[in-house]
Amino acid sequence: MSTPIARIPRYELHCHLDGSVRPDTVADLARRQGVALDRPIRDLVVAPAHCGSLTAFLTYIDLPLQVLQTPDALTRTARELVEDWKADGVVYGEVRFAPQLHGRHGMTPDEAVQAVAEGLAQGRAVTGVGTGLLLCCLRHQSPDESLAVAETALRRRNVVTGLDLAGDETLYSAQPHRAAFDLAHSAGLPCTVHAGEAAGPESMWEAIDVLGARRIGHGVRCTSDTALLNRLRTDKIALEMCPTSNAQTGAVPSLTEHPATQLLADGLPVTISTDTRTTSATTLQREFDALRQATGWTSRHEVLAQENAAQASFDPGTRSRGRTTAT
């Protein structure tokens, strides 16, 4: 007998804060801040099913980012995300954001991190959901800017769980950001890197061998490289796959062609996340429903993916608790 889906503890590892702001919250913050909206809010913050590129997809995060320039807005958004996780059956979630993008009105990166951490703490207190916070370096920014993000992460090590590198791999190499990741490694701060989303296996090799990534954000373009698949399997480098988003950005042609099912069957540590709950109009429940419809997933697939996510989390306590058995 299959385990009922509602009973499977869920772990979300790949979730961007600025892409997961509730549409009504974006509208309310815009009203309070005097930001005029020229279209219905969902048209502004929810991307179409097929954007054609990562660049086009990211334009739907412009407005949320515009209104997330105060500590109160960041705290509210982080708290609401934890509430949304609770409603989605998530027992532990990691959220990531780039604090350096929230200084338009003078907020410092440390203040931005503190504001998000406060919101996560408020959410934990109400829901009991465990949380982790990752800071994002950005490929298009300078090595010095990335180093500053890593330094912020280490200053706020009491609330920061890991470091990430985000951005378009087809346009920007990971190599220039090595100093930031070397600093993180020297302090024992675990790292993940967006790779194999817009570019091919070479970007994943770079993430692993140059930046020392323990996890790969997306990684859907790994299937053509047998040596890479063996490396991911042997070193247990988790793939943070986000099916709806991957189809929207063109990282995969369609959900039916998403590689998660085959990679999971081949023993790779596949995990499933939403990426951007608002931009992709999704939840983990919807992601698993879509995989069941498109590729025949069962509750057993979900159990395995959630066990992988628990083991790959950057919280040691979560790794020790994350065993689930299907019956």
CA angle 179, 118, 279 (to 5 degrees): 75
Alpha-helix residue ranges (DSSP H) falling in 68-108: 71-87
Our CA dihedral for 147, 151, 157, 161, rounded to 10 degrees, sits at: -10
162 sits in which H/E element? strand 162-166
- Partners of 163 in the beta sheet? 135, 191
How high is the pLDDT of residue 188?
Answer: 97
| CA-based nearest residue to 44, from 52, 36, 33 | 36
| CA-based nearest residue to 234, from 208, 211, 261, 258 | 208
| CA-based nearest residue to 159, from 137, 185, 196, 189 | 189
How high is the pLDDT of residue 3?
Answer: 41
Compute the distance between CA of residue 300 and CA of residue 242 in angstroms, rounded to an integer: 18
- Partners of 164 in the beta sheet? 136, 192
The CATH architecture to which 8-314 belongs is: Alpha-Beta Barrel (3.20)
pLDDT band at 325 (very low <50, low <70, confident <90, very high): very low
Compute the distance between CA of residue 11 and CA of residue 32 in angstroms, rounded to an integer: 34
- Could you state, in order of their start, the residue ranges of all structural domains in the chain? 8-314
Compute the distance between CA of residue 238 and CA of residue 244 in angstroms, rounded to an integer: 18
For the chain, the residue count is 327
Instruction: Fill in the amino acid letter for 88.
Output: D
Q: β-strands 162-166, 10-12: how paired?
A: unpaired
Over residues 28-77, the pLDDT tens digits come to 999 999 999 999 999 999 999 999 888 999 999 999 999 999 999 999 99
How high is the pLDDT of residue 126?
Answer: 97
Is the Cβ–Cβ distance between 189 and 157 less than 8 Å? yes
How high is the pLDDT of residue 8?
Answer: 84
Over residues 2-30, the pLDDT tens digits come to 444 456 899 999 999 999 999 999 999 99
Q: With H, G, I as helix, E, B as strand and everything else as coil, classify residue 275.
A: strand
Over residues 156-203, the pLDDT tens digits come to 999 999 999 999 999 999 999 999 999 999 999 999 999 999 899 999
Average pLDDT, the chain: 94
How high is the pLDDT of residue 250?
Answer: 92
Over residues 88-144, the pLDDT tens digits come to 999 999 999 999 999 999 999 999 999 999 999 999 999 999 999 999 999 999 999
Query: What residues have CB less than 8 Å from 56, skipping those under 6 apart?
Result: 47
| Catalytic residue ranges | 197
Look at residue 270 and tell me whether its pLDDT is greater than 70: yes
pLDDT band at 319 (very low <50, low <70, confident <90, very high): low
